[in-house]
Chain A
Amino acid sequence: MRAVFWKELADYFGSWRFVILFGIILLAALYATYTAAQTIVTNVQETPTEFVFLRLFTTSGGGLPSFIWFLSFFGPLIGIIFGFDAINEERSQGTLSRIVSQPLFRDAIINGKFLAGLAAIGIMLASILLIISGFGLRMIGVVPGGEEIARLLIFFIVSLVYMGFWLALGILFSVLFRRTTTSAFAAIAIWIVFALFISMIAGVVADRVAPVSDQSEMEEVLRNREVYENIMRISPTTLFEEATTTILNPSTRTLRSLVTRSEVTGMISGPLALGQSLRLVWPHLTALVALIVICFSISYVNFMRQEIRAG
């Protein structure tokens, strides 16, 4: 498996797709951080000073979305682009039958490719985070504290898992479909559904299951909201957004978008401790990992059963 890993990693770094993706994400990240820093600096009076550094990643400004938003949107694309042709490309160029006749287990091929993709994404993400951190440091002139660094680290891991899911999905489709264009389209279709259509679907279903009107009781409105949010959480994108917002914004204390006034009164003001934030997003992280595992098991089962014939 190690041999597959190193070969694939070298392939990624030598490939144009890596260079292009890196460029795009870096540009978007720099611009998002720049506008965020500007917003922070100009509104320095109104904003609380705690965890200012983290706000670099969550603040949007000047009509441009935040870095988190960019990542939640482009992250899937990176994962898919890295994974969609992992197996079927080898099949069509005739190298797969040569590789599987070497003395290695078949799953080592998938594992090696997945880990190499994950490593490439990790290296890409880490360098972008470091670059924009340094950039932001100069812009706002505030040094991150220990907890901020810890939160950034967790953010990095959550992002990696999130993109890892899309990578696993891409690889799954590269096993299922013989043609690379089909697998790319299938993966992109899933991404569009989860990123764009899920909120419409969730809205429609929520209104059907728990209809609300202007005269609705509070319970009914809450129920509608609950259904909506639970459907939204099917989407890995929602999971990612909720998780990273909680981690990078310590004042987040609940993931419900609608809270009653009595609940708010009961809340202690002030940021959440790191451990508490983690507890809040733990289910999200578990769900994302579970999704990866599901993609993997389907890939394994299919790949093991597939006939390896050239042409």
Chain B
Amino acid sequence: MAPVVETINLTKTYNGNTVVDKLNLSVEEGEIFGFLGPNGAGKTTSILMTLGLTEPTEGIARVGGYDATREPLKVKRITGYLPENVGFYGDMTARQNLRYVASLNSIPGNLAEQRVDDALASVGLSQVADQEAGTLSRGMKQRLGIADVLIKDPTLVFLDEPTLGIDPDGANYILDLIVTMARERGISVVISSHFLHQVQRICDRVGIMSKGHLVAQGSIQYLGQEVLSGGQNLLEVQVSEMSDQVLERIKAVEGVNNVQTDGGVIHISSDRDVSEAISRAVFDSGAVPTQLKSQNYTLEELYMRYFREE
């Protein structure tokens, strides 16, 4: 299947300053893609180019098969964009704000009413629908922003810092909304954020940008193996009885490169997934594996690795 978002050598130069340099990004249908990088790395510029809001200096951005530069209206029809610091018309109610967006999308009256009601309900704002948008709290406004992108029934949404400045409870609510959006409606989500643990919680894959370059792209597990463990699979095993025999058996398993003990824990590095063979080896040596888990990588470690090296 063709990816929903595909950029080919996307480049943006402002007055000789290259902000985005040959970006090659792809986002699959229905996935949540985390877009990471320090401030000024070119994330927002990339998003704007993909939406057809900024013209790329070079390269192509395709959304749903449409060229964002040549057919921006078609792209905007299927793409929702929640900008950082989203704003609403303060003197209009939440419902009126959404109605206006529906009318900008030429959604006919009845369908628009239904979509507005649905969107408000799905972000839990039905109660305050007829309150002026200016009176809503920051968290509510952000949720209204999510309702806003749902109005056009998009296949793809870009969320720029959706949880910035929101209390932990509110942030969790928004993250859950995003996951629901992706899993139940099949909407692809690209989310840019600095909250790494949040990204790690909900994202299927991440892309890390640095100074206009995409330095990594893939699932956190994959990137962790590639970057942090030098391509090695790391496994932690605890056994009921530690003995030399156990270690010998484990070392003999095909693919295992290195075995080290640290107290009662055995650290195994291998070049492929060997967990099944390891537990069998432990049984064969007469012991019982009490715990066996593969090394978890945190996005934070990964992220820091990229930016500490510079």
B51 within 8 A of A: yes
B8 within 8 A of A: no
Extra 16 A-B pairs, beta carbons < 8 Å, given A98-B87, A309-B44, A310-B86? A3-B106, A7-B100, A7-B103, A93-B87, A93-B89, A95-B88, A97-B83, A97-B86, A98-B81, A98-B148, A101-B79, A101-B81, A102-B152, A103-B152, A104-B104, A310-B83
Q: Is the interface of B mostly helix, strand, loop or mixed?
A: mixed
A94 within 8 A of B: yes
B73 within 8 A of A: yes
Cβ–Cβ < 8 Å partners of A98 in chain B: 81, 83, 86-88, 101, 145, 148
Cβ–Cβ < 8 Å partners of B261 in chain A: none
Shortest beta-carbon distance, B5 to chain A, in Å?
Answer: 15
The answer to whether A103 and B73 have CB atoms under 8 Å apart is: yes
The A/B interface has a contact count, at CB < 8 Å, of: 74
| Binary B-proximity of A83-110 (CB < 8 A = 1, otherwise 0) | 0000000000111011111111100000
Give complex CA distance A99, B100 in Å.
Answer: 10
Contact A3/B87 with A101-B76, A105-B73, A307-B54 known, Cβ cut-off 8 Å: no
A311 within 8 A of B: yes
Residue from A97, A102, A104 having most chain B Cβ neighbours under 10 A: A102
B167 within 8 A of A: no
Considering only residues 105-163 of chain B, those with a C-beta below 8 Å from chain A are: 105-106, 145, 148, 152, 160
Give complex CA distance A310, B148 in Å.
Answer: 16
A158 within 8 A of B: no
B300 within 8 A of A: no
Considering only residues 94-152 of chain A, those with a C-beta below 8 Å from chain B are: 94-95, 97-105
Cβ–Cβ < 8 Å partners of B104 in chain A: 3-4, 99, 102-104
| Residue on A nearest B52 in the bound complex, by CB | A101
Cβ–Cβ < 8 Å partners of A290 in chain B: none
Give complex CA distance A311, B44 in Å.
Answer: 12
| Residue on B nearest A95 in the bound complex, by CB | B87
Shortest beta-carbon distance, B46 to chain A, in Å?
Answer: 13
Give complex CA distance A103, B85 in Å.
Answer: 21
Cβ–Cβ < 8 Å partners of A27 in chain B: none
Considering only residues 269-311 of chain A, those with a C-beta below 8 Å from chain B are: 307-311
| Residue on A nearest B55 in the bound complex, by CB | A305
The answer to whether A310 and B53 have CB atoms under 8 Å apart is: no
Cβ–Cβ < 8 Å partners of A307 in chain B: 48, 54
Contact A311/B84 with A3-B100, A102-B104, A103-B105 known, Cβ cut-off 8 Å: yes
Give complex CA distance A93, B92 in Å.
Answer: 13
